[in-house]
Structure formats: structure tokens, C-alpha cells
Amino acid sequence: MKLEYLFLRNIGPFYGDHTIDLVSEKKSNGFAFFADNGRGKTTLYNAMKWCLFGTVKTRVRAVSGIKTTPRIRPIVGVESDEPLINNTAYYGDEATEMSVVLIASSEKGRIQVTREVSSRSKLPRNDDELDINTTVVFGDKSSTGEKAQELIETFFPNTLQQFFFIDGEALEEYTDMLENDNLEGLKEDVESVLRLPALFRGKSDLELIRMSTKAKLKTAKKGEKNASAAQSEAAKYQRKMNDARKKVIKIQNRITTTENSLKDVTNKMNQHSEIAAHVEKVKEVKLKLEAAKKSLIRSAGSRKMYSEEAWKILIWKRAEAKYKEYNGQIGASQNLDFEIKTCKINIKNYTSDLKRLDGICSKCGQTLPDIDAYIAELKNKVVDEKKKLTELNSGVQFDSDELTTRLGRLTSIKPQRGDIDRIKNANNFWSDDRSLVKNLEEKYDSLNAKVTKEATSKLGDLGVRKGNFDQTIRRLKIECKAAEEELSINENKFNDWERKAGYSSGISDEEWKLESIVNKLISTIDDTVISYRQDAREKVEEEASKVFMEVTNAPQAYDGISLDNNFRARIKLKSGKFVTAPSSGMKSMMTISIIDGLRRVSGLDAPIFFDTPGRSLDEDHKRAMLDYFWREHNQQFLIFAHSGEYKIDATLRDFGSRIVKAWELTWPGDHHNCIECKSEEVMHSKSEQIATCMSCNHKWDTSSAHTIITELEI
């Protein structure tokens, strides 16, 4: 994997667009960025990290003797939060934008990773107000979001980032960890190298399965006790259900037979012209009734569907006021949040100033005049701010996040526009259909009775028989309905008891065996991890020793690095003993060797980025380290060096053949020669803070803190 280009926009001291081209015909692998403090070395290093993983953490610092926990740096926010975005772009530009694009190539193809930020509002107060997009183009395919991140991880695994993003400042932390007996950290690194976290995730999944199986089996065992009673109850209701079903079928058959008999009688009556006209009318009404019943089924179904939202209409009549109240508060609450935050920062700053003040000027060592008045003023400010904070807090009911959450929850009970009309219409349609069915039923009964009466008076026995059949059908339908209800009750009871009885019978033999299989698998994973960790420890020890022997300034005295069973690292002497009190430089070299040993064992094919690499190393070790890393690796090795660690001229002179490209990061005010034409004839105006080139007339603002990237001639 070779890094080819890096594009930056509005990140740290890099205002506007900047491009770094790493492409070269040279076969060597060294790249260097030189800069003084604040010019953006670490920003460059962090920009790449952010582009690949989306987060950058603060460095571990010691505050009052206690080490701070690293926290994620926001993109925007107050200065003390160390936001990533360029200050000028944040406050000055119309649209808030920040982006980093990284282009790299590998044997598998070319990959372009773009991570960009834009704001939905002017001067966003926190990252929630930002749109952050990640796009990865690999070959012809483009991915975004989670898929893009997954693709990045295949080339630059996040769990292994400490092996290719090496922070010189963090080396001391790492060294502390290596020397400590409780080496969970290094164990975790070794596990990362072996890709063991995937195995751990598998183990967690298995543990979840075991937990759920255990719960299921426990319930099953409890259920089993009641199972036999439940089974006998189920059998009882099954018998009742079967009886009721037989009864329903019997009645339905009787209805069919009686209807057929009625049909015969009606056909015979049709042969008599004086009755036929009435019979036809009854048939016509019956057809209308059947159609109306179908329509009623449809309208009842549609009413049922719409009625699901009816409760929202009712609840909203009262809840709307609450919604409006919260909605009205949210703007004020956001302002209040901001004021409270500002107030807290002010208190913190004033208190910190008070603690630091000792009455002596830090620059000249003279006693400061009027120090007591200044201290009193600061104390008053603290009191005022605290009072203000109390007042502000008393005015807070809910913070803006809470209000937003509450508004979201209320939205879920808000009816949709048009819901009330839809429900009312559906209810009216159903009501109309029901009235129609009722009217037609009455009409049908009345006409039918009329036909029977006419037929009885004119056709005698035939009319009486028709009347009897009509009556029988009505009675049977009532009986059928009652029998169907009885069947339904018995069916429900049977299902209930069967479900209770099923708690034991529902557990298959396989499920009983599952628990023991899962237990065995978990034990196997544990054994595998122990065995792999041991193998990896030996490999890392071997690789780290090789590196150490190359970078140490006394190879004749040392034998390499030793990692004991508890992963405690020590430098081994030729005599077989261990170095008892290594210098900080030796410790740093040991740490670098172990990190590189871990990287080699991992088989990771990514460029290595090393921020402030020469920190705490003497001249010999600094040279030895560059000599090693800029030599045999096929991987690019980028250093971000402070001018105090590595002198530009000396480094370029000594390692020129190993360096592919090098850059210097400066501010405009650092330049004594013209930025454009390099002329030495430059006039500096200190009052206006402007430099003017006498040769090309180029002018630049010497007070600007916007970094310029200049490629150095090698």
C-alpha cells in the first residue's frame, strides 16, 4: 500500500485547500515533514487518522500529577475542546467545511478515501449540527457510510492503527505499559495482531446463545412440572372442541337440506303465475342484500384499518399544547446551554489563572505591580460567574438535547394530516352500508312473509310448507351461531392449554444438547487464544529483537528483547542477564522495536506514520532509527519531525538518498525570503505586519497563522 496524494481543506492551521503529492519514481521509502511548533505536523498526522477512522483523540497529559484520559476531539466547539476545524474557516467562511482526501494504491487497486464535513447552520456549536460524509472509491466501485468504513478497514485496520500511526509522545506511555507487570495492554495488542478480537466476538455470541438457551431450558423445566396437568386440560377441551365442531357441521347440513327443500317449494310456486311475480321480487331483494353484505364486509375492514390511528386524534387534542410548549422552548434552551457552557469555561479559566498567579512575571522574573488588585478582580469575576451560573441553572427545565428527544417522542403520537377525515369517511361508509343491509333484510323478511301468506291462501299446503321452511332456516341459523361461538370458546381454551403443555414438549433433544456443545466451543476458543497468544509472544520477541539489534548503539552488549510469559518487556544482555536500569533512550528504542515487531508479525501492509519520532532519543539513536526505517522496508515511512529533533539540512544531507520527498511547514511570518520568487530583497513592516518583496512585489501578511507547505529540494 503506497500513499500517493493527500488533500486537506480547513483542518488545523491549514486554511483553504492544500495538496501533498507523494508520487515519485524513486525506489526509496522515506518521507519527512519538518516544522516548528504549531505549524501543523501533528495536524497532518491526525488528518490522515481522521480521514481513515473518523476520530482523533487528545494526547494523554499529566494535570496536577494525574494523567488525563484521552477524549475524542470534536470538529467544532470551544477552544478548550481542541476542535479540528481551522479557526478562520469556522468563524469567517460563509459555509463551514472541512475535508481530507487520501489516495493510495496497492496490488489490489487504487483507493480514494474522502471524509468531509459541512454544516447545516452558520457557526455550528457542536458536531451534531454537522453532516459528516465518508466516501470510498475502490476501482470502479464507490461506497459510502458504513460500507465505506468497512472497506477502509480492510486496508487500514482500526484495531492495528497503533502499529502504523506511531506517536512519539505516546511512546512513554507505551514504555510504562511494557515495563509493568499488569500488561493487559500489550496482551490486547498481541491479540489484535492475531486478529483475535474476531474470535472474542464469536465467543461473546456463543455466550449469548448459552445464556438464552439456559433461560429457555430453565423455563422448560419449570413448565414441565405443570405440563401433565395442562395436557389433560388440553385433551378435555379438544374433546369439547370436536363435539362443538360436529354440532356446527350437523346444523350447517340441516340448513343446506332445508334451503334445498325451500328451493323446490319456491320453484313449484313459480309455476303459479299469481305467485311468481312476488317470488321474483324476493329473489331480486335477496341479490341486493347479498351485494350489500359484501360491501359491508369491505367497509368494516377498511374502518378497522383506519381506526388504528383514531387514538392519536384524541390524544393530540391535549398533547399538542405540550408539543408547542417544548417546540417554543428549544431555541431558548439552546442559547441557555451555550451560556451555561461559556459560564463554566470562564469559571475554570479564572480559577486556573488564580492558582497559577504567584506575583512573579514568567518572562522577566520581576515582581508584578498591582498583583493584589488583579487577584481581587479575578476573584470577583469568579463570584460573578458562579452567581450567573446559579441563575442560569435555575431557569433550566430541560436542556436542548432532552427537549429534542421529547419532541421526537411526541411526534410518534401525532396524527397525520388527513387522518381524521379518513377515519370519519370510513366510519360513515360502514354506517351507510350497515343501514342498507338492515333495510334490505327487513324488506326481504317482509316480502318473504308476504309471499308465504299469499301462497298459503292461494296454494294451501305449498304455502304452509314454505312458511315452515323459512322458520326452520331462521331457527337453525340462530342455533348455528351459538354452536360456532361454543366452538370458538373451546378452540381458544384448547390452544391456551396446549401452549402451556408445550413448554416441555417444545424443547427438542437438539436444544437440550445445544448447551453442552456451546460450553465446549467456548472452552475451545479460550484454549486457542492461550495457545495463539503464546506463539505470537515468541514471534514478536524474535522480530522485536531483530529490530532492536539494528537500532541499538551497542549491539556488542545486547542480545535482544525478552518478553516473559506475563508480556513484560526487558532488554537482554549477551551475558543472559537483563538490563536493570535502562536509560529513557534505551527504553524508547525497546518500545519502537516491539511496535515494529508487532507490525511485522501482523503482516500489515500500510505506510507508517511517525509523529515526533526523535523525542527522548539521543543523536546516535535518532540516526539509527532513521537508518533502520528508511532502509529495507518496502513500506513508506513518514516522519513528522520537530526542527529540534531533526535538523533539516543535516537530515537531508545524511539521508538524501533514502528520502523520496520532504516538506517544510511554515507560517508566512517565518519567511525571510520571498514566498513566491525566493528573493532575499524583502522589506518587513513590523507596524503593519506586512512583508513586501522588492523583486516581484509580492506581499504577505506576517501575522497570519495559516500554514504553508513547501516541498524541499533534496
Partner 1 sequence: MTKKRKIIIGTVSISEAAHKLLTSLVHSDNEPSLDAPFTAIVEAFRFAFALGYSRNLKTKAVGVTKTVAPRQFVVTEYLDILENDIDKSYSSLGALVSGYAEAGAEIMLETKQSGKSVLSIIE
| Contact residues for partner 1, defined by CB under 8 A | 293, 296-297, 299-301, 303-304, 307-308, 310-315, 317-319, 322, 340, 393, 396-399, 402, 406, 409-410, 412-413, 420, 423-424, 427, 430-431, 434, 437-438, 484
The rounded distance, in Å, linking the Cα atoms of 188 and 166 is 17
Nearest approach in angstroms of CB 429 to partner 1 is 12
Give me the helix-helix angle, 400-411 and 310-356, nearest 10°.
170
In whole angstroms, the minimum distance from the beta carbon of 424 to partner 1 comes to 7
Q: By C-beta, is 4 or 479 nearer to partner 1?
A: 479
Rounded least distance, CB 106 to partner 1, Å: 50
Q: Report residue 106 as a C-alpha cell.
A: 496497492
In terms of CB distance, is 133 or 295 closer to partner 1? 295
Min. distance of Cβ 84 from partner 1 in angstroms? 27
CB of 421 vs partner 1, minimal distance in Å? 11
Instruction: Give the containing element (helix H, strand E) for 683.
Output: strand 682-685
Cβ 308 to partner 1 shortest distance, Å = 6
Per-residue cell: 275: 305467485
Burial of 608 (0-12, 13-18, 19+ CB in 10 A): buried
> 3-class DSSP state for residue 261?
helix
- How open is the CA angle 704-709-714, to the nearest 5 degrees? 140
Residue 213 beta carbon to partner 1: minimum distance, rounded to whole angstroms: 22
Q: How far is the CB of 414 from partner 1 (least distance, A)?
A: 11
Residue linked to cell 334445498: 260
HSE-CB at 176 with a 13 A cutoff on CA atoms is 7
Tally Cβ neighbours within 10 Å of residue 581.
5
Q: Are 152 and 164 in contact (CB under 8 A)?
A: no
Least Cβ distance, residue 425 to partner 1 (angstroms): 11
Q: Quick one: 322 or 577, whose CB is closer to partner 1? A: 322
- Separation CA 669–CA 711 (nearest Å): 18
Distance between CA atoms of 637 and 31, rounded to whole angstroms?
Answer: 6
Q: CA torsion 327→332→335→337, rounded to 10°?
A: -70
Cβ nearer to partner 1, comparing 317 with 577: 317
Question: Whole-number minimum distance, CB 451 to partner 1, in Å?
Answer: 25
User: What count of other Cβ atoms lies within 10 Å of the Cβ of residue 355?
Assistant: 9
217 vs 392 by CB, closer to partner 1: 392
Through-space distance between the first and last CA atoms of the chain, rounded to whole angstroms:
24
- Specify whether the CB–CB gap between 60 and 173 falls below 8 A: yes
Based on CB atoms, which residue is closest to partner 1, 376 or 413? 413
- In angstroms, what is the minimal distance from the CB of 336 to partner 1? 9
Q: In what order do the strands lie in the sheet with 109-119?
A: 14-21, 2-11, 97-106, 109-119, 130-138, 141-144
Q: With respect to partner 1, which residue has the nearer C-beta, 487 or 662?
A: 487
Q: Grid coordinates representing 657?
A: 538518498
In the block, which residue shows the cell 341459523? 477
Q: What are the residues whose beta carbons fall under 8 Å from the beta carbon of 373, sequence distance 6 or more?
A: none
Residue 434 or 533 having the CB closest to partner 1: 434
Closest CA to 589 of 564, 608, 613: 613
**Residue nearer to partner 1 on the CB measure, 384 or 441:** 441
Nearer to partner 1, 203 or 303 (CB): 303
What the block records as the C-alpha cell of 60 is 494523554
Rounded-to-integer distance, Cα 288 and Cα 271, Å: 24
Question: Alpha-carbon torsion 367, 368, 370, 376, what sign?
Answer: negative
Q: How far is the CB of 139 from partner 1 (least distance, A)?
A: 47
- Smaller CB distance to partner 1: residue 11 or 310? 310
Nearest distance from C-beta of residue 129 to partner 1, angstroms: 19
53 vs 398 by CB, closer to partner 1: 398
Phi-psi region of 428 (alpha: psi -120 to 50; beta: other; left: phi over 0): alpha
SS3 513: helix
> For residue 666, is it left (φ>0), alpha (ψ between -120 and 50) or beta?
beta
Residue nearer to partner 1 on the CB measure, 325 or 676: 325
CB of 349 to partner 1, least distance (A): 22
Q: Indicate the length of the chain as a whole number.
A: 714
Cα–Cα distance, 556 to 579 (Å, whole number): 14
Quickly list DSSP for 598-643. HHHHHT--S-EEEESTTTT--HHHHHHHHHHHTTS-SS-EEEEEET
- Could you give the maximum distance between any two Cα atoms of the chain, in Å? 136
Q: Which of 157, 227, 235 is nearest to 191 (CA)?
A: 157
Closer CB to partner 1, 118 or 252, in the complex: 252
**Residue nearer to partner 1 on the CB measure, 85 or 296:** 296
C-alpha cell at 388: 450567573
Smallest separation, CB 468 to partner 1 (Å): 27
Q: Rank residues 60 and 420 by Cβ distance to partner 1 and give the closer one.
A: 420
We find the least distance from the C-beta atom of residue 594 to partner 1, in angstroms, to be 47
C-alpha cell at position 235: 385433551
Tell me the residue ranges of DSSP E strands in 109-181.
109-119, 130-138, 141-144, 165-167
